[in-house]
Amino acid sequence: MESKIGTEAPRGLTILSEDEALFRDSVYEFADREIRPHVREMDEAAHIPRQLIDRLFELGVMGIEVPEAQGGAGAEFFHAVLAVEALSRVDPSVGVLVDVQNTLVINALLRWGTDDVKARYLPRLAAGTVGAYALSEAGSGSDAFALATRAGESGDGFVLTGRKLWITNAAEADVFIVFATVDPEAGYRGITAFVVERSFPGFAVGRKEDKLGIRASSTCELLLEECRVPRANVLGEVGKGYKVAIETLNEGRIGIGAQMIGLAEGALDHAVRYTKERKQFGKAVAEFQGVQFQLARAATELEAARLLVYNAARLRGAGRPFLKEAAMCKLFSSEVAERVTSLAVNLYGGYGFVKDYPVEKLYRDAKIGQIYEGTSNLQLQTIARQILA
C-alpha cells in the first residue's frame, strides 16, 4: 500500500524564482497525478508505457532546451534540473529518462551539432523521439576512453563495429549518440562521437538488463556490426569525441544530482507521513524524540544536497566553471539519497522491507546514484584535483 502524499511543495524552496518554483511544482503535480498510480506496476514490469512517454512529450519536459522554433520549450538547463528533481520525487526511473534526454543527448546536440544535425534531430527529440547516450563498454566504465568500438572511414561516411553496455533509454530510443575510436593508436584523441539512428543498417539494440533499481528505466546493450553512419552525422569533429563526452557528462552529473535529491525528497515524504500515522506505545512514532532527530538530520542533509545541485546548475547556466561543483553535487546527493532511503525503510519497520509499501523501491533506486555517470571515487578524484591544482 502507498499512502497518498499529496501535491504539497517540497520543504526546500531554496533560491528559486516564483516562475521556477511554479514550474517545478507543476511537473510534480503531473507526476503525482499521472505517474504515481503506476510506479509499482512499472517497476515490476521493468517498463515505462509508451503512452506515459507521450505524455511527457506533451508536458514539454522532453525538449526543455530545444529552441521554440524547433518545437521545444526554449527554456534553460536549470529547468531541466528542476524537472528531473520533481519527477524523481515520484519515480526516479522516469526522472532518469528525462534526464538523459535533456542533459546528455539534447545538450550534446546543442553544443556540438552542426546546423544540419540540429535541424534534423532537435525537432524530433522535442516532438516524440527518445534519445540515448552510448559511451560505456565492457572494458570502458570508469576508464571511459578505453573504447573497443571502432569507426573506419568508408566512402562518404563511417562504419562502426563494437558493443556498448548499460545504455539508459536504449529500449525506447530511436536516436543514439555513440562514441567510437577512429584511431586506437591515438588514444583518447582518436575518439569520435556519432549520431546513430536505430534504423541504420548494422545497428541493433540487444539484451535488456535485469536491474536492482530504477527498473522501469531501460538499460540495454547496443550491437554495431558494420553499422554505416553518414559523415554528416559526426558530432563535433573527428577525433574530438573526448571533449563531447567529458563536457556533456559534467553537465549530466548535475542531472543525476537532481534525480538523487528528488528521490530522497520522495523517501522523506513517505517517512514523515508514516511516522505521523503509525502508533506505538500509545502515540504516533513521530512524537518520539529519537525519530524526530533522525528526520531533522535527513531534512538538513537533503537541503544541503539541494543547494549543491542548484549551485552547480546555476554556475553552468551562467557560463562559469562548474567541474568541481558538479562532482560535489553528484557525490553528496547520491550519498544522501542512500542514507535517507535507508532511514525511511527503518522507520517503516517490517513494512519497509516489503513491496506493498513504497520505500523499499526508493532504497533500491538510490544505489545507482553512486555508480553511473561517474562513480563516487571518480567524483572524489575530480574534486581533489580541482582543490589541489
Q: Is the pLDDT of residue 311 over 90?
A: yes
Closest Cα to residue 16, out of 64, 70, 78, 89? 78
Q: Which residues pair with 234 in a beta bridge?
A: 194
Q: For residue 209, how many other CB atoms are within 10 A of its CB?
A: 15
- Outline where 39-114 has alpha helix (H): 39-45, 50-59, 77-88, 92-99, 107-112
Asked about 209 being catalytic, the answer comes back as no
Q: Are the CB atoms for 183 and 153 separated by under 8 Å?
A: no
Q: Which residues pair with 175 in a beta bridge?
A: 131, 197
**pLDDT single digits (tens) 318-344:** 999 999 999 999 999 999 999 999 999
Q: Is the pLDDT of residue 172 over 90?
A: yes
Tell me the C-alpha distance between 174 and 295, whole Å: 43
CATH class of 18-130: mainly alpha
User: What is the identity of the amino acid at 344?
Assistant: A
Q: Is the pLDDT of residue 64 over 90?
A: yes
Tell me what percent of the residues of the chain surpass a pLDDT of 70: 96
Determine if the pTM surpasses 0.85.
yes
Tell me the C-alpha distance between 204 and 220, whole Å: 10
Q: Which of 172, 338, 360, 373 is catalytic?
A: 373
- Look at the block and give the residue holding cell 526543455: 64
Residue 143's pLDDT is 81
Q: Model confidence at 11, in pLDDT bands (50, 70, 90)? A: very low
Tell me the C-alpha distance between 63 and 244, whole Å: 19
Share of the chain residues as helix, strand and coil, in percent rounded to the nearest 5: 55, 15, 25
Q: If you average pLDDT over residues 202-228, what whole number do you get?
A: 98
Tell me the C-alpha distance between 282 and 303, whole Å: 32
Tell me the C-alpha distance between 158 and 255, whole Å: 32
In CATH terms, 132-239 corresponds, of 2.40.110.10, 2.60.120.860, 3.30.420.40, 3.30.565.10, to 2.40.110.10
User: What are the backbone dihedrals phi and psi of residue 140, each rounded to the nearest 5 degrees, phi first?
Assistant: -140, 85
Q: Is the pLDDT of residue 9 over 70?
A: no
Element (H, E) at 158: strand 157-168
Q: What is the maximal distance between C-alpha atoms in the chain?
A: 79
Tell me the C-alpha distance between 265 and 340, whole Å: 8
CATH fold for domain 243-388: Butyryl-CoA Dehydrogenase, subunit A; domain 3 (1.20.140)
Q: Are the CB atoms for 291 and 347 separated by under 8 Å?
A: yes
**pLDDT single digits (tens) 84-107:** 999 999 999 999 999 999 999 999
Residue 5's pLDDT is 53
Q: If you average pLDDT over residues 11-17, what whole number do you get?
A: 65
Question: How much is the mean pLDDT over the chain?
Answer: 95
**pLDDT single digits (tens) 119-167:** 999 999 999 999 999 999 998 877 867 899 999 999 999 999 999 999 9
- Look at the block and give the residue holding cell 514539454: 60
Q: Is the pLDDT of residue 363 over 60?
A: yes
Domain extents in the chain: 18-130, 132-239, 243-388
Contacts of 330 (CB under 8 A, 6+ apart): 253, 254, 256, 257, 260, 369, 373, 374, 379
3-class DSSP assignment, residue 313: helix
Element (H, E) at 225: strand 219-230
Closest Cα to residue 263, out of 180, 353, 182, 330? 330
Instruction: Determine which of 13-22, 74-83, 107-116 has the lowest per-residue pLDDT on average.
Output: 13-22
Residue 145's pLDDT is 75
Q: Which residues pair with 150 in a beta bridge?
A: 161, 181
Q: Is the pLDDT of residue 13 over 50?
A: no
Q: If you average pLDDT over residues 287-300, what whole number do you get?
A: 98
Q: What angle do CA 270, 334, 97 make, to 5 degrees?
A: 80
